[in-house]
Amino acid sequence: MKREFEIYENAVLNEKFYSLKHESGLTVQVFPKKMSSLYAVYAVKFGSVNNRFSVGGKDFRIPDGVAHFLEHKMFEGKNGKNAFELYAEYGASANAYTSALNTAYLFSSAEDHEKCLGVLLDFVNDPYFTEENIKKEQGIISQEIGMYDDNPFSRLYYATLKLLYKNHPVRNNICGSVSSISEITPELLYNCYNAFYRPENMVLCVCGDISPERVLAIVDGKVTAKAGDAAVLTSPDEPDEINEKYAELKMDISKPMVSIAFKDNDIPTGAKNVLKRSLCMEILCELLFGKSSAFYDKMYAEGLISSSFSAEYIEYTDCGSVMIFDESGDDKALKEAVLSEVKNAIGKPFSKDDFERVRRSRYSESVRSFDSTDDIANDMMRSYFSGYNVFLEPDMLSAIKYSDVLECLSVFKEENCVTAKIIPTMQRG
Amino acid sequence: MDYKRKKISDGEYVNTICTDKFKTAVFTVKFILPLSEKTASYYALIPNVLKCGTAELPTIREISRRLQELYGMELFSSSVKVGDYQSVSFSIAMLDSKYSMGDGGNITEQAISLLSSVIFSPYTENGVFSAAYVEREKKTLIDSIRATRNNKNSFAVEKCVEHMFAGDPFSVNPKGCEKIIVGIDPKTLFSYYEKFLSEARIEAFYIGAEPHEKIEKIFAEKFHFSERNYSALPEVRRKAAVKVNEAQEDAAAIQGKMVMGFDLGCTSYDAMCDAAPLFMAVFSMSPVSKLFLNVREKLSLCYYCQGVPEYLKGVLIVSSGIDNTNFKAAKSEILRQLDAVKSGDITDEEMFFAKKSLNDIYRTINDSPFSIENWCFNRVISGKFYTPEEKADDIMKMDAGKVSEFARGIKLDTVFFLRGAGTSGLEEEKDEA
């Protein structure tokens, strides 16, 4: 096994990072940067969508919310000390999060970087689950679920995903539900841990004032290859058709909220193509519906959309959709206006100058994300799991063509369109 | 921190922090005025109307296109409460010129010039703001005030502050008040805009790679205030707690929110307050603090329990998301933890963790242009100048006695409980799969 880091450089950004496949199977990426804070993410490719898989030929269908539950439980150590206390010794601040695709454990430190890295690797590599500590966690996570259920944006988002997707597990709440997490046992957590928390399914991304060799020295002493079988994921069987057209819920909010979404059935294969599609879609959304568009200008002037109106592309590797959000009562009028704007754009598209302006603006956003150790480490992690390197985004933004964006217009089809709405429980004067 | 502060005229300053660490440069102009019910709504509405159009770029669309041409420069504004003041900010974040695709020219100068026209050369009709723009932005502002209801945590915090500071400037909402906004017309708004330019204390901040002198020169050229009628801002006044007030409301939400408002007993003007960050670290700010470890971890009384201090006003707001049945237990546990700090029940380990954690926070402030700006603003407004490193060194020298002494000045003033419905009313969303 070679011990030399591969170096990735970007001349425009004047940045570089180092990547190495460690003999344990773990990928280690180090982005040296002269900052006071060092930021490290130790992540596993196990998110809320991974609820069907097989291990050693045996099929599993796990309850929703296991990845998130594991994340919570990992912080607890055998001696009753939680990981927060271990970091506190060095003044570092630690956290973790679970997304649809990954679970990430992280810290930010100003001193004692190597010791903090040691803590990070130690506690994630050392699970401890008992009947008792699981029962307690069920209580805490139920409160967290309650908090999200009180959040109208979260409720509208999941309502929209449930309309778009029949089977794809991205439709399920990341935390699961009170009833799904009640099925969790120590055995289940250990099975999932052993199947997913394996060096070859993980990455360590570090950004800050540190050399790759120093990071590697810590990894050498802490990470070894793991025996046993890895999880083999079962791909979700998602048809092109949407699940349902319309959903409506009621909450104690000040104004109706509406989400109009279009399911994208033309997601290409290959990691780079997926990224390209996603960036083109973002540019298209801005061109059609952003503050610089004729649509926004007219609709906002006439009071038909509110200042919270937004249109964005949401991508989860193998599924994606355009989501349009507004706080307004008339979802039908909004949908009609959106579709008519798309029809206009197909007949008489935006100019090349418009495209150039928006592309440049999005490029600048990408460059500016290389200012913080936090953004860089997280972006490195996501890029790695998606199958490319963190410099691809700005490079691709320099290369995207006008015609690439025009092609994306076909996503806006009536038959792919769903509407979710939240109506205020009471009218206020 | 290569920091320079330059007085341009009475009540008008430029603060520049020169660093080539970032690919982003930030420039902010803050207008600071006394917070009062009468003027807050006007001052909150002004930036929103100004962002609708300039004399040269008369629509939001044209301003947005110009921002995109300048490499996706961002323009944002806010109206927030700082002690008894209303601080209205206009900010731009821009790409450092050397990272442009080659034809960027000097982005900084063009960007500051655009911000200047947004503030000084608004789009007008008959010498005042456009009636259509004013009406539209009134509606948007009212929507955003009403939307506080959508986030039950901030809604409960706002309610607690209203109860605690009834009759005091600190109770005024810096977004304005619906009843006043409804009656605003373009002509009156324009006269308030002139008053705003004339009377505010002005603090500009730049964090980026350009030298101090260059930014000072650009500011002096682009920000031309006519004759100003500035008088120094009055000192912020602390409100001393007399007795504990309790209030509650029902909400159509699953979780209950309990908010406790404390009088800190001193403000950032007082030397006593120097120990406040250390107290906060021991009491509530980190995952090894007393509130987190006891109220959440040990007793599972809440999902979150956090304290947010306002040192300028001398107030601490502790908010928590709780089950209705835990109201009494959570409240008494929070007070029990405060009493522990007061009586000196602080272990060496707790002190060590608190100091380490603050040290980490102070030492990393220089890693983001936004946190640098925020640090400098707080120094400017409290009149106490020191660097994050100096503050960290100062904290390291303090002992537990100092923390207890500070804590003994803290008094509970108000408890506000937003009672949840207890159940979600949601059908279990189960999958057929």
DSSP B24-48: EEEEEEEEEEE--HHHHHHHHHHHH
- Same domain? B119 vs B200: yes
Which among B64, B152, B430 has the least Cβ separation from residue A179?
B430
Residue from B20, B99, B352 to probe the interface with A (highest A Cβ count within 10 Å): B99
Which segments of B123-276 are extended strands (E)?
Answer: 124-125, 128-129, 201-208, 245-250, 256-263
Q: Considering its fold, how many domains does chain B have in total?
A: 2
- For chains A and B, CB pairs below 8 A equal 190
Mean pLDDT for each consecutive 10-residue tract of chain A (429 residues)?
84 95 97 96 97 94 97 86 87 94 96 96 94 90 88 96 97 95 96 97 98 97 95 93 97 94 96 96 98 95 93 94 93 95 93 95 94 97 96 94 96 96 75
Are residues B147 and B288 located together in one domain of the fold? no
Which residues, listed in sequence order, are joined to residue A93 by a DSSP beta bridge?
A: A108
**Could you tell me if residue B231 is inside a domain?**
no
Quick check: is B433 in a domain?
no
Note if A111 is an active site residue.
no
Residue A149 and residue B426: Cβ atoms within 8 Å? Answer: yes
Structure tokens at A11: 């001349």
Alpha-carbon distance A217 to nearest alpha carbon in chain B (angstroms): 24
- Beta pairing partners, A320: A315
Which residue, among A87, A138, A143, would best test binding to B if mutated, counting the most B CBs under 10 Å from its CB? A143
* Partner-chain contact A88 B255, CB within 8 Å: no
From the CB of residue A153, how many other CB atoms can be counted at a distance below 10 Å?
15
B285 located within any domain:
yes
Last residue of a domain, one of B207, B222, B237: B222
Look at residues B319, B369, B320, B256 and name the one whose alpha carbon lies nearest to residue B26: B369
CA distance A366 to A306: 27
B11 lies in a domain? yes
**Residue-wise pLDDT tens digits, A233-263:** 998 999 999 999 999 999 999 999 999 999 9
Considering only CB atoms, B136 lies closest to which of A172, A252, A303, namely A303
Beta strands in B166-325 (DSSP E): 201-208, 245-250, 256-263, 304-310, 315-322
Q: Tell me if B237 is assigned to some domain.
A: no
B224: tokens are: 């031309």
Q: What is the ipTM of this complex?
A: 0.90
- Residue B8 in any domain: the answer is yes
Q: Which residues contact A211 (CB under 8 A, 6 or more apart)?
A: A30, A32
- Residues of chain B in contact with residue A91, where contact means CB-CB under 8 angstroms, are 353, 355-360
Q: Do B136 and A152 touch (CB under 8 A)?
A: no
For domain A246-424, the CATH architecture is: 2-Layer Sandwich (3.30)
* Alpha-carbon distance values, A270 to A45, A202, A394, B400 (Å): 18, 20, 18, 58
pTM for this one?
A: 0.92
Cβ-Cβ contacts under 8 Å, B24 against chain A = 368, 371
Question: Does the beta carbon of A306 lie under 8 angstroms from any beta carbon of chain B?
Answer: yes
Tell me, yes or no, whether B99 and B147 share the same domain. Answer: yes
Do B196 and B269 lie in one domain? The reply is: no
Residues of B in contact with A251 (CB under 8 A): 252
Inter-chain contact A150–B152, Cβ cutoff 8 Å? yes
CB–CB contact B65 A428 (8 Å)? no
Residue B87 falls inside a structural domain = yes
Same domain for B258 and B209? no
Rounded Cα distance between A251 and A16, Å, is: 49
Q: Do B277 and B203 fall into the same domain?
A: no
Q: Do domains A6-233 and A246-424 have the same CATH topology?
A: yes
Which residues on chain B are in Cβ contact (under 8 Å) with A11?
Answer: none
Please report whether residue B301 resides in a domain.
Answer: yes
Q: Which of A4, A6, A9, A71 is catalytic?
A: A71
Residues 6 or more apart from A116 whose CB is under 8 A from it? A38, A40, A87, A90, A92, A107, A109
Judge if B207 and B284 occupy the same domain.
no
CB of A393 within 8 A of CB of A366? yes
CB distance B360–A367 less than 8 Å?
Answer: no
* Domain extent listing, chain A: 6-233, 246-424
Nearest CA-CA distance, residue A222 and chain B, Å: 25
Neighbours of A99 (CB within 10 A): 16
CATH number for the domain including B162? Answer: 3.30.830.10
Give the separation between CA B146 and CA A16, rounded to whole angstroms.
47
Amino acid B102: pLDDT: 63
For each of chain B's 433 residues, which pLDDT tens digit applies? 899 999 999 999 999 999 999 999 999 999 999 999 999 999 999 999 999 999 999 999 999 999 999 999 999 999 999 999 999 999 999 998 888 766 556 889 999 999 999 999 999 999 999 999 999 999 999 999 999 988 899 999 999 999 999 999 999 999 999 999 999 999 999 999 999 999 999 999 999 999 999 999 999 999 988 789 999 999 999 999 999 999 999 988 888 999 999 999 999 999 999 999 999 999 998 888 999 888 887 887 887 888 999 999 999 999 999 888 899 999 999 999 999 999 999 999 999 999 999 999 999 999 999 999 999 999 999 999 999 999 999 999 999 999 999 999 999 999 999 998 765 434 333 333 3
Instruction: Please answer yes or no on whether B363 and A110 come within 8 Å at the CB atom.
Output: yes
Same domain as B358, residue B284: yes
* Per-residue pLDDT at B423: 52
B214 and B262 in a single domain? The answer is: no
* Residue A377 one-letter amino acid: A
Cα separation of B433 and A391, whole Å?
39
CATH of domain A6-233: 3.30.830.10
Q: How many residues does chain B have?
A: 433
CB-based contact A282:A288 (threshold 8 Å): no
CA distance B319 to B305: 6
Domain that holds residue B181: 3-222
Q: Looking at chain A from residue 94 to 153, which residues have their Cβ under 8 Å from any Cβ of chain B?
A: 94, 108-111, 136, 139-140, 143-144, 146-147, 149-152
- Residues B169 and B302 reside in one and the same domain: no
Give yes or no for a contact between B249 and B419, defined as CB atoms under 8 angstroms apart: yes
User: Which one of A285, A364, A397 would you mutate to disrupt binding with B, by most B Cβ within 10 Å of its Cβ?
Assistant: A364
pLDDT given at position A427: 52
d(CA A358, CA A363): 9
Q: B308 and B174 share a domain?
A: no
Cα angle for residues A71, B283, B348 (degrees, 5° grid) = 95
**Which DSSP state fits B285?**
I
> B186 and B310 in one domain?
no
Tell which of B1, B23, B351, B368 to mutate to test the A interface (max A CBs under 10 Å).
B23
CB B135 within 8 A of CB B183: no
